[in-house]
């Protein structure tokens, strides 16, 4: 659907065409900067936009199908830019990603948003309040879009940093589900890396464009430096989480070994006492068979001998197991 459609002359809104055809006509006639904003358009709507602004069919196809990687491609004098905005959701402690596609021509800008994370609220109003920026043409809009996307990464970095700190505490606090949370956070950081890593290279290509003025290059260079700092933070998170996962695995292995050792000690104790208790039972069983040819049954000291044998064998086993530290 169309969010906003306007024509700008000398940085000021001068017209709001009622149709795509009128907006495209203003672009072809050089009436000013034509800026079209769309949110999750249908295939038919994008096909109409492509026809009116003579966009390359491959770029239109990419814009229809979201989940594109961040990139910058040129189709003649029209650039196709893909960005991955992100926002941190405190309630879920998750990072949500969106997608922004931007077509940039000599006199037009078409911005397409996919997902709620790509809202970029107030961007057009902010630029309209600065005619001195907007009059510099399409590249001023591109700079504003990229700058807003990179600025929105800052709270995401802060949220991820807080999550990493919490996981560090949970690892050494032996929390039960820390491994699962670490894996989930690593997945989010990897997704964030995919969003931020191509940006510095994209900005360098934009700055090398001969049609980009020196003033715009200064602004783009500022965004480039900002993107590099965020990239360093994200790379640091990824490396730190890998180390945390390794430490957690070591601690879990140690805990399992300690539990196994404790279990072995318990098994030794049970086995030792079972053997001690089995010895009297064995003696009693032998003399409980009551065979006729058993002299001990009719001997005056047979009963004390049997008791003494039970006690001696049990005591001997106890001393043996005690020396071996089984009990």
- pLDDT reported for residue 111: 92
Quick check: helix, strand or coil at residue 210?
coil
What is the CB neighbour count within 10 angstroms for residue 91? Answer: 5
Q: How many CB atoms lie within 10 A of CB 197?
A: 15
Q: How far apart are CA 7 and CA 55, in angstroms?
A: 19
**How would you class 201 by CB atoms within 10 Å of its CB: exposed for 0-12, middle for 13-18, buried for 19 or more?**
middle
Measured CA distances, 167 to 176, 279, 314 (Å): 11, 54, 53
- DSSP assignment of 273-304 equals HHHHHHHHHHHHHHHTS--SS-HHHHSTTHHH
pLDDT 10s per residue in the chain (327 long)? 788 888 989 888 888 888 888 888 888 887 889 999 988 888 898 999 999 998 999 888 888 877 788 999 999 889 999 999 999 998 888 899 989 999 999 899 999 988 876 677 688 888 888 888 888 889 889 999 999 999 999 999 999 999 988 888 887 776 667 778 888 888 999 999 999 999 999 999 988 888 788 888 888 999 999 999 999 999 998 888 888 888 777 766 776 677 777 777 777 788 877 877 777 787 777 766 666 667 766 677 777 777 787 788 888 877 887 887 777
C-alpha distances (whole Å) from 247 to each of 174, 179, 208 are 11, 11, 45
Quote the pLDDT of residue 27.
80
Phi, psi angle pair for 15, to nearest 5°: -155, 155
Strand, coil or helix: 134: helix
Strand order in the sheet with 33-39: 12-15, 2-9, 33-39, 108-114, 99-104, 78-83, 71-75
Evaluate whether 33 touches 109 at the Cβ level (below 8 Å).
yes
- What single-letter DSSP state applies at residue 68? P
Classify 56 as helix, strand or coil: coil
Domains of the chain: 2-252 (3.30.460.20), 258-323 (1.20.58.340)
Residue 54, Cβ neighbours under 10 Å: how many?
13
Specify the pTM.
Answer: 0.75
Task: Please measure the distance between the N-terminal and C-terminal CA atoms of the chain and give it in whole angstroms.
Answer: 78
Distance, in Å, from the CA atom of 118 to the CA atom of 97, rounded to the nearest integer, reads 7
């Amino acid at each position: 659907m169309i969010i906003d459609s306007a024509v700008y002359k000398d940085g000021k809104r001068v017209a709001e065409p009622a149709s795509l055809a009128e907006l495209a006509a203003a672009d072809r006639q050089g009436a000013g900067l034509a800026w079209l904003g769309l949110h999750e358009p249908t295939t038919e709507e994008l096909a109409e936009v492509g026809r009116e602004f003579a966009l390359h069919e491959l770029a239109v196809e990419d814009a229809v199908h979201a989940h594109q990687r961040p990139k910058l491609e040129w189709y003649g004098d029209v650039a196709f830019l893909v960005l991955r905005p992100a926002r941190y959701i405190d309630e879920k402690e998750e990072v949500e990603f969106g997608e922004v596609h931007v077509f940039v021509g000599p006199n037009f800008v078409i911005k397409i948003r996919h997902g709620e994370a790509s809202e970029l609220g107030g961007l057009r109003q902010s630029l309209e309040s600065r005619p001195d920026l907007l009059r510099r043409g399409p590249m001023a809009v591109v700079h504003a879009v990229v700058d807003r996307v990179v600025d929105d990464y800052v709270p995401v970095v802060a949220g991820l940093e807080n999550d990493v700190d919490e996981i560090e505490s949970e690892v050494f606090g032996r929390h039960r589900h820390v491994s699962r949370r670490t894996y989930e956070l690593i997945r989010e950081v990897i997704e964030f890396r995919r969003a931020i890593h191509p940006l510095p290279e994209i900005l360098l290509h934009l700055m090398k464009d001969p049609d980009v003025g020196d003033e715009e290059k200064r602004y783009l260079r500022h965004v480039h430096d900002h993107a590099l700092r965020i990239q360093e933070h994200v790379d640091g998170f990824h490396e730190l989480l890998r180390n945390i996962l390794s430490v957690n695995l070591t601690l879990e292995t140690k805990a399992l070994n300690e539990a196994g050792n404790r279990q072995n000690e318990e098994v030794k104790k049970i086995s030792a006492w079972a053997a001690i208790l089995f010895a009297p039972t064995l003696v009693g069983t032998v003399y409980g068979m009551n065979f006729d040819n058993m002299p001990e049954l009719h001997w005056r000291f047979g009963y004390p001998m049997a008791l003494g044998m039970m006690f001696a064998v049990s005591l001997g086993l106890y001393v043996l197991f005690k020396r071996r530290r089984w009990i």
